Amino acid sequence: MAPTHTAPITAAFDLLGRRWALRVLWELRDGPVGFRALQERCDDVSPTVLNARLAELRDAGLLWQDESKAHQLTATGRDLSRSLKPLLAWSERWAAENRR
């Protein structure tokens, strides 16, 4: 039988496999951040791209804007950023390995 829907994980990879997508989620993990502050945290990514990523992630239901325009994670977004934690541990092992 042919699949009528793609596996969820491939949709996730498609969304997250864009420049700055993972980083944005990561930088929002500790609470709301304004546009310009977020831009700085993301190595001064251009506002064009940042805004594009924010819109996509918002459409995906991972984040939203409060009254003061600050960007922050939804429950689903927080859930995702939590499931990104093992990646942090891995990256540190990886870096340690590449230091020599």
Could you tell which of DNA, a copy of itself, none binds residue 91, using a CB distance below 5 to 8 A set by kind? a copy of itself
Residues 2, 68, 86, 100: which binds a copy of itself (CB under 8 A)? 86
Nearest distance, CB of residue 91 and a copy of itself, angstroms: 4
The tokens for 76 are: 């689903």
SS (H, E, C) 50-78: HHHHHHHHHHCCCEEECCCCCEEECHHHH
Exposure of 57 by Cβ count < 10 A (0-12 exposed, 13-18 middle, 19+ buried)? Answer: buried
Nearest distance, CB of residue 62 and a copy of itself, angstroms: 8
Output 60 or 70, the one with its CB closest to a copy of itself.
60
Site membership for a copy of itself, residue 54 (CB under 8 A): no
- Cα dihedral angle (61, 63, 66, 70), rounded to 10 degrees? -160
Residues found near a copy of itself in the complex (CB under 8 A): 8-13, 16-23, 26, 43, 61, 76, 79-80, 82-95, 97-98
